[in-house]
C-alpha cells in the first residue's frame, strides 16, 4: 500500500493530462506515518471565529424553497480545554419544520486531503457547477453555475464538512496534525466535529445521515463506529457512499488476484464505451453480467492456479480476456494474464494515440509519445477541475459572503502525503484497511441503519464490481442496502442524465423508510 494517489477528487495541473492526483494522492492509498512533532515547535495560530450567514431562495418551477446558508468555524478543544482545531463547514438550513422531523446530512469528500467542494457543487447542494456531460473538457471560464432543482436540501438540511487541513479548517493553539491526519485519527476528528455541531445546533432529535465520496467512503463506516459506539451513542438513520473504497486490497494498482478480478468488468465497460471490442455487443448490461460471471467462475480460478494452469485452459482464458477487454491476446499473454489499471489505460487506445482516464475512463488524453508503458496523469482532472475550483471560490465570496485573508484549500498535498495507517493491536501487521466489517457491525447494532452505495461503471479507481464483492462477502443485512451502478465515472454526477437519476435516488432514499435489495444498474 505504497501508492499515495487519492481516490477521487481532481485538482489543477500544469500539463495536458497531469493532475494533482500524481502529487497528492486523489482514490487514496495510505502513505507513511507522519513523524512526531518537535516538542519545541511553535504553537498554531490563535482561534479566529468565522461566521457568515445569508438568506437564499431556490426556484422550483412554480414554487420556491427558502433557506439559510451558514459558513462558519467550529472550535474543538483538547482534554485540557485548550483550543486544538477549527472545523470549517457550510450549512444549508430550511426553517419551519420540527427538529425531530427534519433530517440533517453531513457530507464530505475524501482524498485523503480533499475539501467538500465536489459533492457540494456537483450533486448535493442548491447550486451546481455545469461541465460537459460525456468526457469532454470544460475549457476556460466563465462556467455555468446553476440552481439545483433536485438538491438533497429538499428532504434534508445539509452540512458540508472540510476535514482539518482542507477548506478553511486548520490546526490552532496547541493542536497537532498528528491528531487528525490518519485513518483512525481522521474518523475520531470528524466524529468530534459532528457531535459538537449537533449539540451546538440542538439537532439531537433529528434523523441523521452521513454522505461520503471516495476516501469519504472509508471515513463513513468508521464514523458509524465512532458515533454509534458506547453509551453516548449517536444512532444514524443512513449512510450514503459515492464511489467508496471499502477494502484497500482491491483498489487499483494492487497486485493481487482479487484486484485483477474485480476490475475486469470495468475494463469491459470501458472498451465497450470506446468501441474498442472486436465484437461489440449491443446490450451493455448483459455483457457486463457475462464478464462478471467469467471473472468469478474462470478468471479467479485461473489466477489461483498460477503456473499449474493447464496450457489449453490458459489459452482459453487469454482469448476471453482479449474478447472482453479489447487488448490483444499477445499483450495479455505477455502480462501473464494480469493487466494493471495503468497499463490498461495506456494500452487500450494506443493505436489512436490516446490514453483513458482513471477516475472516469470516458475521458481521454494524449501523451508526449506513444511508447510509454503507463499514463503520466488523469485527463479527467484537467478536464473539470478548473471549472469546480473557479466556480466554488467565486460562489464562496459573492453568494455566501465569506471574506477572509485565509486561502481556501481545495486539496491538501500535506494531508495526503502524511496520512497515518489504521491502528491495529498487532503492530507488525498494521496497515490493512477494510472498513466493511465496521459498517456491518454498525448495521447489526442499529437495525434502522440503511445504506446507499452509488458506483460508476467507468471508474477504474474504485470499481463497481469491487463494491459489489465487498458487500456480498460481508455480513451486512442486504435488505437494508441499496446499490446502484451508473453509466459514468467516479464523480458520476458530471454526466447530466446520471446527475438527474442520482438526485432522484438520493431524495427517495432519505424520504422513504423502505429499502431496495441488492444491486442494479441505471
pLDDT digits 0-9 by tens, 31-54: 333 333 444 455 689 999 999 999
What is the torsional sign of CA 340, 342, 344, 346? Answer: negative
514 against 293, higher pLDDT = 293
At residue 360 the predicted structure's pLDDT band, cuts being 50, 70 and 90, is very high
Read off the pLDDT of residues 477-510 as tens digits, 9 standing for 90 and up.
999 999 999 999 999 999 999 999 999 999 999 9
Alpha carbon distance 353, 355 (integer Å): 7
Cβ(46)–Cβ(174) below 8 Å: no
CB contact set of 70 (below 8 Å; sequence gap of 6+): 51, 52, 53, 90, 91, 93
**What topology is assigned to 6-33+52-249+389-423+430-521 in CATH?**
Rossmann fold (3.40.50)
SS3 246: coil
Contact between 164 and 192 under an 8 Å Cβ cutoff? The reply is: no
- Per-residue cell: 98: 420540527
Q: How far is CA 464 from CA 205, 269, 388, in A?
A: 35, 11, 25
CA angle 504, 147, 155 (to 5 degrees): 40
Q: Which residue has the cell 494522492?
A: 25
* CA separation for the pair 494, 476 (Å, rounded): 30
Terminal-residue alpha carbon distance, the chain: 33
Q: What is the pLDDT of residue 100?
A: 82
Rounded to an integer, the average pLDDT of 347-358 is 96
pLDDT tier for residue 19 given thresholds of 50, 70 and 90:
very low
pLDDT of residue 424: 72
Residue 181's pLDDT band (boundaries 50, 70, 90)? very high
Instruction: For residue 57, name the pLDDT band (cuts at 50, 70, 90).
Output: very high
Q: Which pLDDT tens digit goes with each residue over 71-121?
A: 999 999 999 999 999 999 999 999 888 878 899 999 999 999 999 999 999
Backbone angles phi, psi at 356, to 5 degrees: -105, 160
Residue 484 is given by DSSP the state E
Which residues of 235-384 form beta strands (DSSP E)? 238-242, 355-356, 364-365
For residue range 296-327, list pLDDT tens digits in order. 999 999 999 999 999 999 999 999 999 999 99
Please name the residue ranges forming H helices in 158-256. 183-201, 216-228
Range with the poorest average pLDDT among 3-17, 118-132, 170-184? 3-17
**Does residue 422 carry a pLDDT above 70?**
yes
Is residue 12 over pLDDT 90? no
Q: What is the pLDDT of residue 429?
A: 64
- What is 190-209 written as a DSSP string? HHHHHHHHHHHHT-TTS-EE
**How many other C-beta atoms lie within 10 A of the C-beta of residue 325?**
23
Q: Identify the pLDDT of residue 499.
A: 97
Q: How many CA atoms lie within 13 A of 28 on its CB side?
A: 34
Neighbouring C-alpha atoms within 13 Å toward the C-beta of 2: 1
* pLDDT tens column, 185-235: 999 999 999 999 999 999 999 999 999 999 999 999 999 999 998 888 999
CB neighbourhood size of 60 (10 A): 13
In which residue are the cell numbers 432514499 written? 509
431: helix, strand or coil: coil
Per-residue confidence (pLDDT) for residue 249, from 0 to 100: 86
Q: Alpha-carbon Rg of the chain, whole angstroms?
A: 23
| Pairwise CA distance, residues 396 & 403, whole Å | 8
Average pLDDT, the chain: 89
Q: What pLDDT does residue 519 have?
A: 54
DSSP string, 65-126: EEEEEEEEEEEEE-TTS-EEEEEEEEEEE--SS-TTTS-EEEEE--TTTB-SHHHIIIIISS
Confidence (pLDDT) at 16: 38
Centre a 10 Å sphere on the Cβ of residue 293 and count the other Cβ atoms it contains: 12
Beta carbons of 22 and 505 less than 8 angstroms apart: no
**361-399: per-residue pLDDT in tens?**
999 999 998 899 999 889 998 889 999 999 999 999 999
Cite the residue boundaries of each domain of the chain with CATH code 3.40.50.1820: 6-33+52-249+389-423+430-521
**What is the arithmetic mean of pLDDT over 425-450?**
86
Amino acid at each position: 500500500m505504497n501508492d499515495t494517489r487519492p481516490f477521487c477528487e481532481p485538482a489543477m495541473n500544469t500539463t495536458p493530462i497531469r493532475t494533482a492526483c500524481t502529487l497528492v494522492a486523489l482514490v487514496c492509498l495510505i502513505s507513511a506515518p507522519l513523524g512526531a512533532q518537535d516538542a519545541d515547535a511553535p504553537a498554531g495560530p490563535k482561534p479566529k471565529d468565522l461566521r457568515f450567514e445569508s438568506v437564499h431562495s431556490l426556484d422550483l418551477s412554480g414554487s420556491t424553497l427558502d433557506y439559510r446558508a451558514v459558513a462558519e468555524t467550529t472550535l474543538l478543544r483538547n482534554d485540557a480545554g485548550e483550543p486544538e482545531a477549527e472545523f470549517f463547514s457550510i450549512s444549508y438550513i430550511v426553517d419551519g419544520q420540527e427538529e425531530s422531523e427534519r433530517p440533517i446530512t453531513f457530507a464530505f469528500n475524501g482524498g485523503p486531503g480533499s475539501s467538500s467542494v465536489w459533492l457540494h457543487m456537483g450533486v448535493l447542494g442548491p447550486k451546481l457547477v455545469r461541465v460537459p456531460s460525456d468526457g469532454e473538457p470544460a475549457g476556460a471560464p466563465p462556467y455555468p453555475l446553476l440552481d439545483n432543482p433536485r438538491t438533497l436540501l429538499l428532504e434534508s438540511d445539509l452540512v458540508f464538512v472540510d476535514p482539518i487541513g482542507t477548506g478553511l479548517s486548520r490546526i490552532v493553539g496547541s493542536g497537532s496534525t498528528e491528531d487528525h491526519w490518519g485513518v483512525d485519527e481522521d474518523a475520531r476528528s470528524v466524529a468530534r466535529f459532528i457531535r459538537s455541531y449537533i449539540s451546538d445546533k440542538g439537532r439531537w432529535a433529528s434523523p441523521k445521515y452521513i454522505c461520503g465520496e471516495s476516501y469519504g467512503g472509508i471515513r463513513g463506516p468508521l464514523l458509524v463506529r465512532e458515533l454509534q459506539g458506547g453509551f453516548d451513542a449517536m444512532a444514524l438513520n443512513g449512510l450514503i457512499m459515492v464511489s467508496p473504497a471499502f477494502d484497500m486490497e482491491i483498489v487499483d494498482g494492487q497486485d493481487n488476484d482479487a484486484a485483477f478480478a474485480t476490475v475486469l468488468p470495468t475494463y469491459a465497460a470501458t472498451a465497450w464505451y470506446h468501441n474498442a471490442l472486436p465484437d461489440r455487443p449491443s446490450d451493455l448490461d448483459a455483457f457486463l453480467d457475462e464478464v462478471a460471471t467469467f471473472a468469478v467462475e474462470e478468471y479467479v480460478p485461473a489466477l489461483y492456479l498460477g503456473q499449474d494452469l493447464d496450457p489449453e485452459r490458459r489459452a482459453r482464458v487469454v482469448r476471453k480476456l482479449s474478447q472482453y477487454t479489447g487488448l490483444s491476446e499477445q499483450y495479455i499473454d505477455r502480462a501473464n494474464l494480469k493487466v494493471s489499471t495503468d497499463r490498461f489505460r495506456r494500452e487500450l487506445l494506443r493505436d489512436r494515440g490516446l490514453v483513458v482516464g482513471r477516475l472516469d475512463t470516458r475521458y481521454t488524453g494524449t501523451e508526449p509519445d506513444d511508447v510509454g508503458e503507463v499514463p503520466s496523469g488523469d485527463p479527467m482532472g484537467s478536464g473539470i477541475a478548473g471549472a469546480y475550483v473557479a466556480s466554488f471560490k467565486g460562489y464562496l465570496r459573492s453568494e455566501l459572503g465569506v471574506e477572509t485573508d485565509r486561502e481556501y484549500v481545495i486539496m491538501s498535498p500535506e494531508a495526503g502525503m502524511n496520512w497515518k495507517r489504521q491502528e491495529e493491536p498487532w503492530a507488525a501487521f498494521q496497515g490493512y484497511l477494510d472498513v466493511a466489517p465496521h459498517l456491518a457491525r454498525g448495521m447489526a447494532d442499529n437495525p434502522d441503519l440503511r445504506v446507499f452505495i452509488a458506483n460508476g461503471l467507468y471508474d477504474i479507481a474504485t470499481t463497481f464490481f469491487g463494491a459489489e464483492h465487498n458487500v456480498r462477502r460481508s455480513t451486512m443485512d442486504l435488505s437494508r442496502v441499496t446499490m446502484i451502478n451508473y453509466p459514468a465515472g467516479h464523480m458520476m454526477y458530471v454526466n447530466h442524465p446520471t446527475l438527474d437519476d442520482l438526485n432522484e435516488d438520493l431524495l427517495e432514499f432519505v424520504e422513504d423508510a423502505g429499502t431496495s435489495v441488492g444491486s442494479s444498474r441505471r
